[in-house]
Amino acid sequence: MRRLSSDEALRAAVLAAVPSLPSVDVATTLAITSKASLARSLGKALQDEGETGLPLVENLEAFAVARACQTRQVPFAAVLGLSNHVGPGAHEEWKELAKPASEQVSATISAWLAGHLGGLRMKRSSGPRGKT
């Protein structure tokens, strides 16, 4: 099992912008963990490394982005909207909760950007495909 960590300064800045935001470890898997036996296996692997219990969150893409950032020495932190529990009901939960989770992520990133970009405004497009 390979571990990558978020950039502490970036993580702290996001958490400062939205103090109610929880901070947790994320398991990155090759597919949604839909079987209880696979979730237990993942938990066992973490316990073998000294962790306790099952991971609270899984994400399929975060590791690849974190690894690319690490390779280029670019700070990395992930803000994820939680849309489902790990296990057999994951896909059905995801279908129901993906949109509200995405909306919460957008609000969190907007709050962080507002604190870091000050008066900077994005130029709005007046036409299709970004033409102004």
Give just the sign of the alpha carbon dihedral 4, 12, 106, 20.
positive
What pLDDT, on the 0 to 100 scale, is given for residue 12? 87
Q: Which residues pair with 26 in a beta bridge?
A: 57
Q: Compute the distance between CA of residue 106 and CA of residue 113 in angstroms, rounded to an integer.
A: 10
- 21-30, 31-40, 101-110, 120-129: range with lowest mean pLDDT: 120-129
Instruction: Let me know how long the chain is.
Output: 132
**In which element (H, E) is residue 33 found?**
none
Per-residue pLDDT tens for 88-121?
Answer: 787 888 899 999 989 988 988 888 888 876 554 5
Q: Are strands 26-27 and 57-58 parallel, antiparallel or unpaired?
A: parallel
Which residue type occupies 70? Q
Dihedral pair phi/psi, residue 81, rounded to 5° = -90, 125
Query: Could you say which DSSP state residue 27 is in?
Result: E
What pLDDT, on the 0 to 100 scale, is given for residue 30? 66
Q: Is the pLDDT of residue 4 over 90?
A: no
